[in-house]
Amino acid sequence: MTSNSNNKLAIDDLKQALKRLPDWTLAKDREAITRNFQFADFDAAFSFMTRCALMAAKMDHHPEWFNVYNKVDVTLATHDAGGVTQKDIDLAAAMDGYAVMSGGR
Ligand code: H2B
């Protein structure tokens, strides 16, 4: 299998990648990865979302997310590929970094 950021990762490569993203899991009902973030309050959650949004725009790769007050539930998939690609892994790693910057966990 060639490694192209637009192609779905092979399951072994996906499991390998998730070892470096210990807070992310495979979605139950579809080919995607998911993580829940929690922050001190809405301001912190939204500062995280702002950082993520700017990166997503730059990457032209966008999260599915749901925010209530201090919580942000994120699902990442590449719709064009019908599964998880290297772009999702890269965005997940970036989001983990932004969560730390916003005091999240
Ligand atoms: N984001 C995600 N998560 N998956 C996609 O397949 C996708 C995207 N496609 N952002 C992009 C935009 C595509 O629609 C544009 C035209 O490049």
CA distance 100 to 2: 33
Report the C-alpha gap between 13 and 7 in whole angstroms. 12
Ligand 1 atom nearest 77 alpha carbon? 3
What is the rounded CA–CA span in Å between residue 54 and residue 76?
16
Residue 59 and residue 88 in contact, taking contact as beta carbons nearer than 8 Å: no
Computed from CA positions of residues 81, 86, 92, 95, in that sequence, does the dihedral angle turn out positive or negative?
negative
pTM of the model: 0.94
Q: In the structure, which protein residues have their CB atom closer than 6 angstroms to any atom of ligand 1?
A: 60-62, 77-80
| pLDDT tops 60 at residue 1 | no
Q: What is the mean pLDDT of residues 30-41?
A: 98
Q: Average pLDDT for residues 42-46, to the nearest whole number? A: 98
Question: Tokens for 58?
Answer: 């730059």
Q: 2 falls in which pLDDT band (50, 70, 90)? A: low
What does DSSP assign to residue 61?
Answer: -
Q: Given ligand 1 and candidates 5, 59, 64, 80, which is best to mutate, with the most ligand atoms within 8 Å of its CB?
A: 80
Q: Whose CA is nearest to atom 7 of ligand 1?
A: 61
% of residues, the chain, pLDDT over 70: 97
